[in-house]
């Protein structure tokens, strides 16, 4: 199994799960956003190729002899894409095309592609299902949708089996809280643990379908083994409900035992207001059912970040 971006948050958790299931695992990562520390304890069990997926020589080496590619490599940030749209496009859209070409050339069994709920944009009605029109409003979302389109094209034209997974706000252990572009849950947890006021962009009533990492790993494994009816399609991967940022903060304050209030700042460009997934297709075709609840996922995340900060 090859995990592109295997030093990242999702990729490293996936690589560990694949190892635990007895698979041989190879990782390619340029560690621009991923961290070598995410593979601590399994470095000797995983073959790591330190390179960008746009390096064709390195990618050919990484994909040689591989049966399934889990393509997680990306620059995963809406705000970063707003600051540098070209770089996001190169990493996310062109990088995906490069992986698909290499996979086609060696005849891998399937490519499982990490897409994003951001492709829906500001949906008129919730929950969103896969047959709705896509209306991306950030360069990041456009780049992810382009990757999906390439996957469909390679399935239709080259008979390369692909499955795209639209992740909804993934959180959990190994998510970097220190990045300028860190996701909201590790930012909130780190602030509360440090006794500082969490920063909310907007009024805090925007809502998300927060999805614990173990559920996303499960979905990737299911997608790799799903039947032909999954090929060429995109599936929502989420918990299936939504909570506002203010509700998220209240839940975290309860777990951590904090009474700190948030500091509210201007909304960020490119962010959607509400997001929630319809999981019918993933349930029926992939057999996906989120196994870890939102509350349990929050507790595990707080425990991990507490240990990491000691």
pLDDT in tens, 36-74: 999 999 989 999 999 999 999 999 999 999 999 999 999
Span of 181-195, 206-220, 279-293 with lowest mean pLDDT: 181-195
Residues 6+ apart with CB under 8 A from 70: 1, 2, 3, 4, 11, 14, 18, 112, 114, 220, 224
Separation CA 170–CA 214 (nearest Å) = 9
pLDDT tens string 74-107: 998 888 999 999 999 999 999 999 999 999 999 9
pLDDT at 180: 62
- What per-residue confidence (pLDDT) applies to 18? 98
pLDDT value, residue 298: 97
The phi, psi pair for 164, rounded to 5°, reads -105, 135
Contact at 8 Å (CB) between 159 and 169?
Answer: no
Distance from the Cα of residue 83 to its chain's centroid: 20
Residue ranges covered by each domain of the chain: 2-171+211-240+276-291
- What would the mean pLDDT of 166-187 be, rounded to a whole number? 87
Rounded to whole angstroms, the Cα distance separating 233 from 288 reads 15
Q: How confident is the model at residue 259 (pLDDT cuts 50, 70, 90)?
A: very high
Is 15's pLDDT higher than 80?
yes
Helix or strand or coil: residue 216?
helix
The angle that helices 95-106 and 139-158 make with each other, rounded to 10 degrees, is 20
Alpha helices in 21-94 (DSSP H): 56-63, 78-83, 85-89
189 phi/psi in degrees, rounded to 5? -60, -45
| Beta bridge pairs of residue 48 | 27
pLDDT of residue 133: 93
Q: What is the mean pLDDT of the chain?
A: 95
The pLDDT confidence band at residue 270, using thresholds 50, 70 and 90, is confident
Report the distance separating Cα 20 and Cα 259, nearest Å. Answer: 39
Q: Regarding predicted confidence, which is higher, 220 or 178?
A: 220
How far, in Å, CA of 192 to CA of 180, rounded?
Answer: 17
The upper half-sphere exposure of residue 70, i.e. CA atoms within 13 Å in the direction of its Cβ, equals 31
Q: ∠ CA 81-86-88 to the nearest 5 degrees?
A: 45
Under the banding of pLDDT at 50, 70 and 90, the label for residue 163 is: very high
Q: What is the pLDDT of residues 103-136, one digit of tens each?
A: 999 999 999 999 999 999 987 789 999 999 999 9
Residues 2-171+211-240+276-291, CATH architecture: 3-Layer(aba) Sandwich (3.40)
Across 274-293, average pLDDT: 97
Burial class (CB in 10 A: 0-12, 13-18, 19+), 227: exposed
The dihedral of CA 286, 287, 292, 298: what is its sign? positive
Q: What is the pLDDT of residue 238?
A: 97
Q: In angstroms, what CA-CA distances link 177 with 173, 187, 211?
A: 10, 5, 17
């Amino acid at each position: 199994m090859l995990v592109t971006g295997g030093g990242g948050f999702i990729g490293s958790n996936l690589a560990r799960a694949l190892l635990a299931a007895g698979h041989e695992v190879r990782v390619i990562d340029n560690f621009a956003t991923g961290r070598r520390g995410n593979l601590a304890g399994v470095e000797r069990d995983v073959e790591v190729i330190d390179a960008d997926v746009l390096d064709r020589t390195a990618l050919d080496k990484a994909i040689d002899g591989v049966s399934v590619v889990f393509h997680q490599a990306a620059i995963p940030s809406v705000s970063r894409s707003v600051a540098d749209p070209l770089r996001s496009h190169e990493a996310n859209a062109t990088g995906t095309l490069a992986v698909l070409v290499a996979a086609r050339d060696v005849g891998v069994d399937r490519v499982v592609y990490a897409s994003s709920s951001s492709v829906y944009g500001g949906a008129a009605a919730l929950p969103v299902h896969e047959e709705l029109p896509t209306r991306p409003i950030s360069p990041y979302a456009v780049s992810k949708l382009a990757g999906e389109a390439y996957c469909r094209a390679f399935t239709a034209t080259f008979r390369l089996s692909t499955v795209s997974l639209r992740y909804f706000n993934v959180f959990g252990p190994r998510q970097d809280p220190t990045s300028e572009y860190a996701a909201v849950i590790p930012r909130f947890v780190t602030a509360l643990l440090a006794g500082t006021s969490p920063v909310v962009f907007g009024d805090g009533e925007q809502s998300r379908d927060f999805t614990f990492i173990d559920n996303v790993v499960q979905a990737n494994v299911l997608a790799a083994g799903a039947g032909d009816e999954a090929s060429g399609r995109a599936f929502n991967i989420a918990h299936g409900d939504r909570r506002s940022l203010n509700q998220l903060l209240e839940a975290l304050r309860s777990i951590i035992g904090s009474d700190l209030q948030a500091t509210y700042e201007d909304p960020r460009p490119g962010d959607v207001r509400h997001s929630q997934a319809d999981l019918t297709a993933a349930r029926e075709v992939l057999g996906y059912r989120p196994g870890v609840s939102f509350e349990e996922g929050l507790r595990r995340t707080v425990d991990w970040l507490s240990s990491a900060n000691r």
